[in-house]
Amino acid sequence: MDQSGATEARESRPNWTNHSLVSRLGRNSHAAPDGPGQVKIRTENLSFYYGKVQALTDVTLDILEHRVTALIGPSGCGKSTFLRCLNRMNDIIENTHAEGKILMDGADVNSPDTDVVELRRKVGMVFQKPNPFPKSIFENVAYGLRINGIAKSELADVVECSLRQAALWDEVRDKLKTPGTSLSGGQQQRLCIARALAVQPEVLLMDEPSSALDPIATAKIEDLIQQLKEHYTIVIVTHNMQQAARVSDYTGFFYLGELIEEGPTEQLFTTPGKKQTEDYITGRFG
Ligand code: ADP
pLDDT the model gives residue 149: 86
76 lines ligand 1 (CB under 6 A): yes
Instruction: Specify the pairing of strand 68-72 against strand 203-207.
Output: unpaired
If DSSP codes are grouped into helix, strand and coil, which group holds residue 56?
strand
pLDDT the model gives residue 26: 37
Q: What is the CA(77)–ligand 1 centre distance, in A?
A: 7
> 109 or 6, which is more confident?
109
Domain ranges of the chain: 32-129+202-281
Give me the amino acid identity at 246. Answer: R
In terms of CATH architecture, what is 32-129+202-281? 3-Layer(aba) Sandwich (3.40)
pLDDT the model gives residue 36: 60
Question: pLDDT digits over 136-170, tens only?
Answer: 999 999 999 998 888 999 999 999 999 999 999 99
Measured CA to CA, the distance from residue 179 to residue 198 in angstroms comes to 18
Q: Whose CA is nearest to atom 27 of ligand 1?
A: 50
Measured CA to CA, the distance from residue 193 to residue 259 in angstroms comes to 27
Q: Whose CA is nearest to atom 23 of ligand 1?
A: 93
Q: What is the CA(52)–ligand 1 centre distance, in A?
A: 13
